[in-house]
Amino acid sequence: MTSLSEKSQDTKIKMSPMRKALPQILAVSVKNILLLGFGMTLGFPTILIPSLSGGNQDEKISLGQDAISWIGSVNLLCVPLGCLLSGAVTQPLGRKRAMQFVNLPFLAAWLLFHYSTESWHVFLALCMTGFSGGLLEAPVLTYVAEITEPALRGALCATSTMAVNFGIFISFFLGTFLEWRTVALVNSSVPLAGFILLIFVPESPYWLIAKGRHEEARKSLAWLRGWTVKSNIEVEYLKIKDELDKNPMLRKHRVVEILKLYLKPTFWKPYLLISLVFFFAHFGNTPITAYAIRIFNSFEVPISPYYATVSISVVQLLAVVIYVFSIKYLGKRRLVAISLTFLAILFSIAGTYSYIFDVSNLTDENHGLNSTWIPLVALILQAFFCYLGIKSLPFILVGELFTNDVRAYASGLSAGTGYVFGFVSNKIFLDLVDVFKLYGVFWFYAAVAAIGLISLHFLLPETEGWTLGEITEHYAGGKRLGNKVFKGKKGLEQASVL
């Protein structure tokens, strides 16, 4: 039987904005299942740290102070290694197949956690989750940038951070009620779901065109633009094809020509900016999340440190949801300014409180002697404002700022740099507390936020609402983007052409 789309092949049909947006939302949602699983791995060390610190006599594995510091950071150390290979895996396999492939080591890591009996089993599993998370960066970041239209791109890119935070929340929530091995077994179901659901979404049309698979690219675009007929997407298809035709090195993979791409301002300017944003994002919230239970124990907060830690993940998730819906109207610059301003204030409050009441070091016990809510509220609010701007920003920029000819490799490299900062911030946290005391570390984080506020005011352009082509022109020395959100009528009517 001849399908309706085949009968209407040469006839354009009108569609509502919702119908055009829905398949893009669905495809991004399926991709986000992988990031949900990755978020679970990032939240898992927070459960492991108190469980393996030697306080539980029934636990077979017990670790000392130095080993505990590695629990909170070794996974982040391995992420950059995966990031370096991420682009190399993504380019030949395609965005979709690369995402499916990464689910396999995630599944193996969760099973290793569950059945571990020695400390090296735990560390190997942490390394596997970090490495797999790195492999995930290039395909997920390039996929969402290449399948979405300008009016949807910012918000849908932001859902990546939301998915990661929801995964962290799930790990925290499950860890409150379940033993850590059981949490690992429950979490193993996520990579299985991700692998299966990816079967039902299309490959990136950019990658298909670059590989000469033009008919599949048309079908992919037609699916993504509202399950429409091919004639409706022909103009966008030709624009993408024309742009890729200008970059023959994408197909021939000539080493010298490819290396030249990474010497252009269209690569190194975005890369340096994204690296700077990652630095400001990690030095503050990342160690606080990893060592949340011990920090809340030290402040002897009036609620269970586990409940307080779950509260952090809840407000982080809430902040990202608000970010998704507000970025289109407020833009990235305004949100990051709000974020860093409040971070500087809140870390200053936490540091001053710690100094006045002599909360200098970390402890594993909470005697419940302190009835004040000041440090608890300050640290929960810093988690909220962190994800309302600076922590949600870098992964959006990774998908937006790079040109198509370097996007896969540059995404992995940029994300890898970010996780190096994450590893360093986590690994040196306990050492910083030993040297500068807890209040000194909080004041340091306040200073980092203040410097970030000033720096990004001058360095960060407003990319919200602009096409990927216009962003490329900005970094190539052409049209400047300025500091305002673009609110023209391009929206769903104009697809990105780079």
The tens digit of pLDDT for each residue in 41-78 reads 988 988 888 888 766 667 788 777 778 778 877 887 78
pLDDT digits (tens, 9 = 90+) for 19-41: 889 999 999 999 999 999 999 99
0.75 exceeded by pTM: no
Residue in the block written with tokens 């104009």: 494
Average pLDDT of the chain to the nearest whole number: 84
pLDDT digits (tens, 9 = 90+) for 152-176: 877 888 888 889 888 988 988 898 8
pLDDT of residue 210: 85
DSSP letter (8 states) at residue 204: P
Alpha carbon distance 270, 41 (integer Å): 28
pLDDT digits (tens, 9 = 90+) for 341-397: 999 999 999 999 999 988 888 776 665 555 678 999 999 999 999 999 999 899 888
pLDDT of residue 224: 93
pLDDT of residue 10: 47
pLDDT of residue 415: 83
Residue in the block written with tokens 């689910």: 103
pLDDT of residue 489: 44
Identify the weakest region by mean pLDDT among 273-277, 376-380, 479-483: 479-483
pLDDT of residue 247: 58
pLDDT of residue 150: 76
pLDDT of residue 250: 46
Average pLDDT value for residue range 92-96? 90
pLDDT digits (tens, 9 = 90+) for 172-230: 889 888 998 999 999 999 999 999 999 999 999 988 998 889 999 999 999 999 998 88
- Between residues 409 and 247, which one has the greater pLDDT? 409
Domain residues of the chain, as ranges?
Answer: 32-493
pLDDT digits (tens, 9 = 90+) for 403-462: 777 777 888 788 888 888 988 898 899 899 999 999 999 999 999 999 999 999 999 988
- Virtual CA dihedral for 160, 163, 164, 167, nearest 10 degrees? -170
Answer CATH for 32-493 from 1.20.1250.20, 1.20.120.420, 3.50.50.60, 1.10.3720.10: 1.20.1250.20
Model confidence at 487, pLDDT cuts 50, 70, 90, reads: low
pLDDT of residue 240: 81
Residue in the block written with tokens 């065109």: 209
pLDDT digits (tens, 9 = 90+) for 426-439: 889 989 999 999 99
- Residue in 309, 306, 453, 478 with CA at minimum distance from that of residue 393: 453
Q: Which residues contact 240 (CB under 8 A, 6 or more apart)?
A: 205, 206, 209, 217, 495, 497
Q: What's the helix, strand, coil split of the chain in %, to 5?
A: 75, 0, 25
Alpha carbon distance 25, 159 (integer Å): 10
Model confidence at 486, pLDDT cuts 50, 70, 90, reads: low
Average pLDDT value for residue range 239-251? 67
How much of the chain exceeds pLDDT 70, in percent?
87
